Structures are given as C-alpha cells and as structure tokens.
Chains A and B, each alone.
Chain A
Amino acid sequence: LAKTTQPISMDSYEGQEVNITCSHNNIATNDYITWYQQFPSQGPRFIIQGYKTKVTNEVASLFIPADRKSSTLSLPRVSLSDTAVYYCLVVRGYGGATNKLIFGTGTLLAVQP
C-alpha cells in the first residue's frame, strides 16, 4: 500500500481558500486517491476521489500532478464548520479481494472566525 504523508495541522480563517497537500511517492499505476473528512465523535465522510489531473465537486477540488506522487485537496472559502480532520488515502484494488483501507494521522484543519 502506498504510504501517505500530510501535515499534522493547519490554521485558516473564514472565507479563505485552504489547500492540504498529501505526498504518496510510491503510488502505483492503478491506485486512486481518496480524501475523507472527520468531525469529532463521528465517522469519516467521503469528500472526493481522483486518479489524475483535476476533479471538482460541490464540496472541494482535488488536484493531482502528472507524476501522481502528491495530491492537493482544495476547500474554497472555508467556514467554521469546515473545522475537522482530513485524511488522504491511496486505494489499490486487489482484483476482487477487499482493500485494507488504512487511515494515517490526517490533517487537523482549524478555521478561525
């Protein structure tokens, strides 16, 4: 499984754009990059997933460079309610078997008023 590295914490203010970068140097050809958001005492929630270039949905954008060794989650105009832990996962299919979906330490984003 590709190991991921992301900052332990980040601070921001309401209304700013926040970019959280994740490194995954040993990503394999068939791997996808997935981001989850977790609020205290709740289960993580899927945010966005991508394979290459750029993916955008109603919540965030995901930028993946051509070498795919890193990815950046972009949250536009954050609010206080975006304060959460954000996890980056690299997921590999095992041809029918189930993936071992291992979470790292994540990035604690603290949004200030």
Chain B
Amino acid sequence: ETGVTQTPRHLVMGMTNKKSLKCEQHLGHNAMYWYKQSAKKPLELMFVYSLEERVENNSVPSRFSPECPNSSHLFLHLHTLQPEDSALYLCASSQGGTANEKLFFGSGTQLSVL
C-alpha cells in the first residue's frame, strides 16, 4: 500500500465514450502527477499539479483533460479516445520542489480503447 489509490483498476471504453480516472493520495503531499505507459515503453509524463495548479502539460492531446480540485485528489477525464490511447495510466504524488523528491505511485488504471 503506497498511500495512493487509483480507480478503476481496469477500464474498457469505446471511442465515443466519456470516462474519468480517479486518484487519491493520503500522504499529505503537495504535488500530483499523471503518467502514461504504453506496452513495453517507458513512462511518459502527462501532467503535473503543484498545490492544485497545473505546472506541466507535456503536449498531451485535448481528449485528455486533468482536474485537481484539491491537493489530495486528481482526475483524468477522457473523451473521444483513440485505440492508441490504450495504456496503463499511473498517478503519483510527492512532496514537490526539493532535490530529494520521491514519487509514490498508485497501482494504475489499465485502459483499453475499442
């Protein structure tokens, strides 16, 4: 148990659906992240929030829309996805801004787009 909880664990959606991924952290951290990991590829940083403000949007298509209502919760809203968006989506949190920053990851949401 890392203190970061992601739901759902698995999601299958059609290209016209709208769904949301949820992440919650119980560690008192001030930063939260979304990463994408396609099969046999490295993690790709998608979004970074620090103190509920987005500080990094790594050229992610607009069909992915993040939301951070408070420092403990992070959402990723999905709409009109493509099959190539199928991947493991990982949420992480940290106490940001220091050189010895450590990430704590959730177990991820395995997304399949049909």
Contact = CB atoms under 8 A, between A and B. Distances in A.
Given A98-B31, A106-B42, A43 B105 contact: yes
Interface stretch (B11-19, B48-56, B62-70, B75-83): B48-56
B38 interface: no
Interface in B23-40: 30-31, 33, 35
Given A43-B2, A100-B56, A95 B99 contact: no
A69 interface: no
Contacts of B103: 36, 44, 46, 101
Contacts of A49: 100, 102
A93 B101 contact: yes
Interface residues of A, number: 29
Contacts of A59: none
B3 to A, nearest CB: 12
16 contacts: A30-B99, A32-B100, A41-B108, A44-B43, A44-B103, A46-B104, A49-B100, A49-B102, A51-B100, A92-B99, A95-B97, A98-B49, A98-B56, A99-B97, A100-B48, A101-B92
Nearest to A92: B99
Contact of B99 (A36, A44, A91, A96): A91
B100 A45 contact: no
A42 B107 CA distance: 5
Nearest to B106: A43
A22 to B, nearest CB: 14
Secondary structure class of chain A's binding surface, majority of residues: loop
Contacts of B49: 98
A40 to B, nearest CB: 9
Contacts of B92: 43, 101
A94 B103 CA distance: 16
A98 B50 contact: yes
Nearest to B33: A101
Interface string A16-54: 000000000000001110101000011111100101000
